[in-house]
Structure 1
């Protein structure tokens, strides 16, 4: 189903259904109860982009720490489930999916999943969505007596019904990871439905997630990559993700990427252009502009998220538009530079010390929000990214690569210094 079709249905049909369910809940809804001390089943709804799953990592860690006996279930769109499986967010039998590729299939899945969840039964549901009303409706259809989610209060937009009985105000000034953690805090607050006394949480320093790799597995992958693309061997590898995905206004200009890639190659590094098969045309254009054997096309090279993570292990730096790759990179040792403009790194930036957010800070940025259904008014003229010039980005990238070399040299020196001295 096309994105614009989904938005139209969500705006008109979704609002009407949320209003109807709100009226039903007010007239015939059960009295809100406190969460049991040892809840049995908790559902987390995360329908949006795959990168959001990584930002929700600390929330899952908090859930398991606070409710160790609870079984955590996850509801996602079918196309986004690969990440949840890879990260082990829940056991395979506790992962539930909605297929949004066709309207009738989606309705069938909603009915099927709702019946499955109601049979558990659930003690609570956490709805992490801001934009879709289907997730709000699913939280009610799941049968969970406690429903934590975001509320706009009196702000325009974001109407998702009044049946969320553990609601926190969506805060566009606080990182989304912190807001996810507030949803966990809301489950225990008896003063609901308006959650006010949430503890002050610092932004987590990491994702609390990991994907274990065997050293031999990573070595074999690096050898395969060098065999497939010999020009990458012997040079530091910089990966560039120039695609915009579903929101092309988030993309740094292709001409800027070409100038950056040429500067990296001239400085003695290798460049790999990553992305989906749909990004192959853009990669071909960039390779033609750079005109160097050390700039290679890796679009479609990785067949899974796990392979993408292995590719990150084999490279030294990722420079990317806002999107999934920047968040997946935080699960690996690679250094990352992420462009933000239509959205802001203050709200959606990758977690961890290895990520750098690049923003121009123009007056209209950020322009995509929960209040405008992520529809920008710049009409493709994304000045917030066009004004980020290639030469300063290149300078910072070369500094990072230089520091990476120095860090490896220091580690090698320390290892040699720690070896025992043999005397004749």
Structure 2
């Protein structure tokens, strides 16, 4: 299903359903259920792959607070690899929703609800920002603890009154902190309002470091070599991710990417550009290759699996990317990152990384994509990104390349000493 269709369905069907179920929930308070200690906890995040990484701290905190608990995750079928990658949720505990059509969506949701009842899911942590469909799924699951974001006194964002733990969404704190607040809400004392009243530091945000075996690194090297036989170990490999996925408004202009690559090559002959992405990025790859020449590129568009992306990041030196999935997956590796933000704010969705440089023009109208408009903006021209000059970005690339050369020289000296 297309994103706009899902938004409309969430609004026109979700609103009346949320209201009806909320009335049912209010009637049910006459015979309230006892609170249960979380034993089987399901994290609910359907559409966002990058947010799965940002939720890692929340998932690990759940295991820390309730060591004997068993974790589950519900996500769209095509996004499941982002959960598997983190290796914190057993694969058997993934509950997948097929959104390829409305019919398949309804069938898989129905099956998921049956499975959740059979599994005895007692706690649902709804990571979606004011999605009505996940609020409905959460309620129909019958879980005793239903944690989710609630609008309280905010206008709009109605998703019913069905959560047992209503958490304030804070648009001024990183989304990873917001996810942690959902978990901590389960520890909040009775009568606390609104949730969650405690200090949560961004230092609590963490993600795993995922390494690649020698076999996997060799395999990805062979794949890159087959795309460009000129590849050697002496090359500096810069990954270009010019595609912005479902939200193209987040993309730095393609012509700027091409011009940047050309400028880098003018001063650094030892650079090869590794172009990644799914089939939608094919046109981007063609433009960049035409600009800098095929001999300077390794075109991996639509040629790798999701898991192989990690092997690519572990094999390369620098990633230049829009605000999209790779900006969150790359920090799982040591790769250096340059990321463009504009329609979305890095204060909320910045990567959890010490090696990332964020470029954000901080326009007065930015961010224009948020939970408050369900990530749908009226902007037809992303001047916040177009205003970022190639010259400005190149200076940052120069700094990164200098550090990379310095690190390579240091490692070489260390190797010589050991010999």
8 Å CA contact 2:130–2:158 kept in 1: the answer is no
1:294 alignment partner in structure 2: 296
The alpha-carbon deviation at position 300 of structure 1 amounts to 1.1
Q: State the partner residue of 1:365.
A: 366
CA distance in 1, matches of 2:418, 2:256: 45
**In 2, Cα distance between equivalents of 1:400 and 1:320:** 14
Closer, same or farther in 2 for the Cα pair 1:127/1:206, shift >3 Å? closer
Give the aligned partner of residue 82 of structure 1.
81
Match of residue 422 from structure 1: none
Q: Secondary structure at the match of 2:373?
A: coil
Are the structure 2 counterparts of residues 244 and 197 from structure 1 closer, same or farther at C-alpha, using a change threshold of 3 Å? closer
- Asked if 1:246 corresponds to 2:229, the answer is no
Structure 1 SS opposite 2:13 = helix
Partner of 2:34: 33
Can you list the C-alpha shifts for 1:341-399, whole angstroms capped at 9, x where unaligned? 000111001102011211001110000111112111212x1011001111111111121
- Are the aligned partners of 1:341 and 1:359 in contact in 2 as well (CA < 8 Å)? yes
* Residue correspondence of structure 1 range 52-67 to structure 2 within 5 A: 52-67=51-66
* CA drift at 1:412: 2.9
Please tell me whether residue 3 in structure 1 is matched to residue 3 in structure 2: yes
The Cα offsets for residues 38-64 of structure 1, whole Å up to 9 and x where unpaired, read as x32111101122111111111111011
* Partner residue in 2 for 1:128: 127
* CA-to-aligned-CA distance 1:298-322 (integer Å, 9 cap, x gap): 21121x2211111111110000011
Task: Indicate the residue corresponding to 2:184 in structure 1.
Answer: 185
The alpha-carbon deviation at position 131 of structure 1 amounts to: 4.4
Q: Distance in 2 between matches of 1:344 and 1:32?
A: 40
Give 5+ residue unaligned stretches, structure 1.
Answer: 420-424
Task: Specify the SS of the correspondent of 1:282.
Answer: helix
Among candidates 274, 277, 289, match of residue 276 of structure 2: 274
User: What's the TM-score, normalizing by structure 2?
Assistant: 0.94
**Displacement, 1:418?**
5.2
1:98 touches 1:106 (CA, 8 Å); kept in 2? yes
Deviation of 1:280 (Å): 0.6
1:317 matched residue in structure 2: 318
Aligned-partner Cα distance in 2 for 1:230–1:398: 26
The equivalent of 2:236 in structure 1 is 236
Report the CA distance between 1:193 and its aligned residue: 7.0
Q: Which moves more between the two structures, 398-407 or 18-27?
A: 398-407
Give, in angstroms, the shift of residue 409 of structure 1: 1.6
Look up the match of 2:210: 211
- 1:394 equivalenced with 2:394 (yes/no): yes
1:239-290 deviation digits (Å, cap 9, x = unpaired): 1111121111001001111111101222221112211112111211222233
Mapped partners of 1:353, 1:103: distance in 2:
41
Change (3 A) 1:206 1:229: farther
Tell me the CA shift for residue 205 of structure 1: 7.0
Which segments of 5 or more consecutive residues in structure 2 lack a partner in the other structure?
none
Shift in Å, 1:160: 1.2
Query: Quick check: 175-184 or 207-216, which moved more?
Result: 207-216
Q: 1:131, 1:231 → 2: CA distance?
A: 50
How far apart are residue 32 of structure 1 and its match?
Answer: 5.2
Q: Per the alignment, do residues 294 and 83 of structure 1 end up closer, same or farther by CA in structure 2, a change over 3 Å counting?
A: same
Tell me what 1:414 maps to. 414
Runs of 4+ in 1 over 3 A off after TM superposition: 32-35, 192-198, 204-207, 414-419
- Tell me the TM-score normalized by structure 1: 0.93
Report the 3-state secondary structure (helix = DSSP H, G, I; strand = E; otherwise coil) of the residue aligned with 2:121.
Answer: coil
* SS of alignment partner, residue 208 of structure 1: coil
Describe how 1:102-141 pairs up with structure 2 within 5 A.
102-141=101-140
Name the counterpart of 1:346.
347
- For structure 1, which segment, 396-405 or 340-349, has the greater mean C-alpha deviation from structure 2 after superposition? 396-405
1:194 equivalent in structure 2: 193
**How far did residue 90 of structure 1 move?**
1.6
Distance across 1 between alignment mates of 2:195 and 2:150: 12
Q: 2:169 and 2:373 mapped to 1: Cα distance?
A: 14
Whole-Å separation in 1 of the counterparts to 2:326 and 2:16: 36
RMSD: 1.8
